[in-house]
Amino acid sequence: MPTACTTSSKLFFAAYEDIRSLGFLRIAAIGKATAAALKDLHLKVDLTPPKAVAESLLEALKEDQSLDNVRMLVITGNQNRDVLVRGLEQARAIVDTLQVYETVPSDLSRSEVAAKFREQGADVLVFASSSAVKSFGEQADHLKLSPSARIPVLCSLGPITSNTMRQAGIPVGLETTEPSLDSLIDALITHFE
């Protein structure tokens, strides 16, 4: 099974013939996991913000150097928030975006996993992104729990996802301190101890 890095690199090289076609460049990663994936591709990450969110990356970039007329390529997906791109443009950077992945809706009406969830429930339901919250809301009819099902703790992977949950009327039972797998594990261990 291809990894996200493998898929992303194939999409990158579909758009660019050679990494050198980008010229001299510096690389910023939004979080530790992305930085590690880039390192696996033998690419040095020059900047990782303190928090793995677009707002923190934008502030770190602004603090690092003047962005006036700096050419930037933002690698993104089809449902990413535009906070980073808008902020870079407001700082007068020249921004191009390259969409390397796409979040597509699932049809849970015939899903065996969804049927099992409706019947049995779960201990925890983790929302890893705002797009996951939106998809959950769109599929809510196919995820209604039976009266005998275990009601899960609703967990959010970070404050931005929590905000989206609240806007959708979904109560946040547990929130990680940052949007990372390590933070999720810590939060779940603490909650269930």
Q: What is the pTM of this model?
A: 0.68
Q: Is the pLDDT reported for residue 55 higher than 70? A: yes
Is the pLDDT at 3 greater than 70, yes or no? no
What percent of the chain lies above the pLDDT cut of 70? 92
Q: How would you class 21 by CB atoms within 10 Å of its CB: exposed for 0-12, middle for 13-18, buried for 19 or more?
A: exposed
pLDDT at residue 1 is higher than 50: no
Q: What is the pLDDT of residue 57?
A: 92
Structure-block tokens of residue 110: 């015939």
Domains delineated in the chain: 4-101 (3.40.50.10090), 112-192 (3.40.50.10090)
The better pLDDT of the pair 45, 17 is held by 45
Please classify residue 35 by burial: count the beta carbons closer than 10 Å to its beta carbon, then call 0-12 exposed, 13-18 middle and 19+ buried. Answer: buried
More reliable by pLDDT, 167 or 100? 167
Percent of the chain with pLDDT over 90: 46
pLDDT tens, position by position, 94-103 = 999 988 888 8
21 confidence band (pLDDT: 50, 70, 90): low
pLDDT at 4 over 60: no
Q: Where are the beta strands (DSSP E) in 69-137?
A: 71-77, 94-101, 124-127
Least confident of 51-55, 113-117, 128-132, 177-181: 177-181
Specify the higher pLDDT residue, 18 or 103: 103
Instruction: Give the C-alpha distances (Å, rounded to integers) separating 179 from 29, 160, 162.
Output: 14, 9, 11
Please tell me which residue, 52 or 13, carries the higher pLDDT value. 52
CB 166, CB 185: distance < 8 Å: no
Q: Is 80 helix (H, G, I), strand (E, B) or coil?
A: coil
Q: Is the confidence at residue 157, as pLDDT, over 60?
A: yes
Give the pLDDT of residue 33.
Answer: 84
More confident residue, 17 or 109: 109
Please say if the pLDDT value at position 167 is more than 50: yes
